[in-house]
Amino acid sequence: MYSAIKIGGFALSIAACLLIALYIKDELSYDRFYPTTNRIYRITGEYNNNGKLETGADWPPPMAKALREDFPEVEKSGRLMPHPLFYCAGSNQIKTIDHEQNTYEDGFTYADQDMLEILQLPMVYGNRAHALSQPNTIVLTRRKADKYFPNQNPVGKLVILNNDKTRIYTVGGVIENFPSTSHIRYDFWLSMTGYELWNGEQAAWSSSNYYTYVLLKPGANAAKFQSKLKLILTKYYLPMLLKNGDKEADQFTKKARLLAQPVTDIHLYSYNIDDGLEKGDIRFVWLFGAIACFILIIACINFINLSTAKSANRAKEVGLRKVVGSHRIGLIKQFLTESLLFSVLSFILGIVLAAISLPFFNKLFAKSLSIPWMVWWLFPVMISAAILIGAIAGLYPSFFLSAFKPIHVLKGQLSRGSKNSILRNSLVVFQFSTSIILIISTLVIYKQTHYILNKKVGFNKDQVLLIQGANTLGNKTLSFKN
């Protein structure tokens, strides 16, 4: 029972920590697969509106051109426009030229040709340098190309969106599927060439609809580039505001600030930016990391407490071994070896429990995590962690147990002394306090989630449907309803 509690408690904590570690690793690995990751930035902005900080990532149509022409650090700049408010962005009904049946699809975005080159997206078919350079062209991901053009090279093939035969799209290329660790996951890239929402330079700076990315030149200083971005406000925004008669135009350049956000920061550091992306939050990463540490600390404390509480049962063993000539260093080695053995067994069981629990964990967090069995560093890291944690958890019990004096054991004084350990009592208080905090937090979060999912909102949700792709009904809406 003693061994089962020690190994089982350790194994459960290791399984929990391993699952949380996989989650944290996945969150921290977003957007690190581009060949030029360290040179890609997204332009964002902040505006101090009377003490309230407003943030955004939407920019006017000419922003990319201005960045390219006015800043020598910029090698390329490009735009994405996935807003569903505009024609063909967001979602559409799509079919190939030789099929009558439409299919509803999400994940459409307008994109500049430069975006393909900034991100260096790997091409399955077609030439990256020209895939979106012509009007009315479309680039598909591999999975969508396989869906609509199975076992074919679709470059040059035609597709129709929303039954609009006046604007037929030509497939300009096929890119590889985006990995799950990408903040960009659009499956259909529509050429922005020849298609602008706003005409006229002045009118164009009055709107904000495009996400703008830049690729800095090798060796360019990102901090200096960001400090120079104020030129955009004074050269383009200020004249537009003055022309429109804005009374606070002069204050605008003092309250507003443009930022160059590294592409690797977009997933975790954009929780205050309304950009329509599925994002994480660095605060949750720190929170889960702290929880994992506390769980592991609780398991180590449990290990120490059990070892020291069991000390009275091992007193005679220690006393007898010392009587027959054992040295303290030998006893320390023995108890440390036992601790390491417990730790290794716990790690083996913990990894098995983590593998069994992973499908449920993935479902809970909407992830597709997997234990990287074939990665070279997994087992060395696990073995090193088992030795380190085993040594840390077993260090105090080893010195504590090996310090028993035979004379005290023979006089029966040990059992009384072992019950008055200030350290063990402190560890127990810390262990229980931390456990209670985690349990209460879990219950509160569970109740809040249950409340959100089951709160009556004033209508019968089960009887309300959203019809996707109804924009192709035209004048047949009433017939469809009937």
Per-position b or e across 186-199, b if 16+ CB within 10 A of its CB: bbbbbbbbeeebee
Q: What is the pLDDT of residue 200?
A: 52
Q: Give strand pairing partners of 95.
A: 160
Which residue in this structure is represented by tokens 């996707």? 468
- Residue 182's nearest CA partner among 122, 114, 246, 96 is 122
Provide the token pair at 147: 């869906």
CA-to-CA dists, residue 28 to 31, 81, 284, angstroms? 9, 26, 12
Angle formed by the axes of helices 378-402 and 282-309, to 10°? 40
By the 8 A CB rule, do 225 and 75 touch?
A: no
- The pTM of this model reads 0.86
**Among the ranges given (14-23, 383-392, 440-449), the one the predictor scored with the smallest mean pLDDT:** 383-392
Residue 169 burial (10 A CB sphere; 0-12, 13-18, 19+): buried
Mean pLDDT, range 26-40, rounded to an integer: 95
Question: In this prediction, what percent of the chain has a pLDDT beyond 70?
Answer: 95
pLDDT band at 105 (very low <50, low <70, confident <90, very high): very high
pLDDT band at 409 (very low <50, low <70, confident <90, very high): low
Provide the token pair at 351: 């990894």
pLDDT band at 456 (very low <50, low <70, confident <90, very high): confident
Q: What is the pLDDT of residue 118?
A: 97
Alpha-carbon distance of 333 to 402, in angstroms, equals: 10
pLDDT band at 245 (very low <50, low <70, confident <90, very high): confident
Q: What is the pLDDT of residue 393?
A: 81
Q: What is the pLDDT of residue 417?
A: 43
Mean pLDDT, range 408-415, rounded to an integer: 63
Q: What is the pLDDT of residue 152?
A: 94
Alpha-carbon distance of 350 to 357, in angstroms, equals: 10
Taking CB atoms within 8 Å and a gap of at least 24, the contacts of 405-414 are 405/319, 405/322, 406/319, 406/320, 406/322, 406/323, 409/315, 409/316, 409/318, 409/319, 410/319, 414/311, 414/312, 414/315
Q: What is the pLDDT of residue 416?
A: 45
Whether pLDDT at 461 is above 90: no
Query: Strand, coil or helix: what is 433?
Result: helix
Q: What is the pLDDT of residue 46?
A: 93
- Residue 184's nearest CA partner among 287, 79, 309 is 79
Alpha-carbon distance of 109 to 89, in angstroms, equals: 5
Query: Strand, coil or helix: what is 473?
Result: coil
Whether pLDDT at 231 is above 90: yes
The secondary structure of 235-256 as a DSSP string is IIIHHHHHHTT-TTHHHHHHHE
Whether pLDDT at 238 is above 90: no
Query: Strand, coil or helix: what is 355?
Result: helix
Whether pLDDT at 181 is above 50: yes
- pLDDT (tens digit per residue) in 300-323: 888 888 877 776 677 777 777 888
Q: What is the pLDDT of residue 277?
A: 86
Query: Strand, coil or helix: what is 90?
Result: strand
pLDDT band at 332 (very low <50, low <70, confident <90, very high): confident
Q: What is the pLDDT of residue 199?
A: 59
Q: What is the pLDDT of residue 395?
A: 84
Whether pLDDT at 347 is above 60: yes
Whether pLDDT at 13 is above 80: yes
Provide the token pair at 402: 């090996």
Q: What is the CA radius of gyration of the chain?
A: 31
